[in-house]
Amino acid sequence: MLKVLVSALEDQGSERSFEVADLSYDRDDNNFSMRCVMGDDWLQRVNSKYECELKPQIVRFSDNVVFIVFGSNIEVDVFEKWLRSALNKVEEGYKTMRG
């Protein structure tokens, strides 16, 4: 599992943490994504850029931990909403696996 720690510059004392099986980040697109199996298609991804606009200040991957820092708590809320939605889609996708 990958531990995700998220905080905001405006409230540095507050931090949220999540555990996910997979999370990637593309700096060029400001896009977070997760692998999502749909039926027998193992190449699908759930992408944040199609659902919300996220612009983190810092994204750092280290071993099994991802540190993400946004400018405001509102951005953290948007990311958390997307992350929970993505986790639900991944879970639903696994239910459709064949083979």
pLDDT digits (tens, 9 = 90+) for 36-68: 877 776 778 899 988 888 999 999 999 999 999
pLDDT band at 11 (very low <50, low <70, confident <90, very high): confident
End-to-end CA distance of the chain: 24
pLDDT at residue 97 in the model: 65
Alpha helices (H) along 16-72: none
Token readout for 56 is 């983190």
Query: 95 by DSSP, 3-state: which?
Result: helix
Structure-block tokens of residue 78: 């948007």
pLDDT at position 12 over 90: no
92 token code pair: 């639903």
Residue range of the domain that includes 82: 2-95
Number of domains within the chain: 1
Distance of CA 27 to the CA centre of its chain: 13
The model's pTM is: 0.87
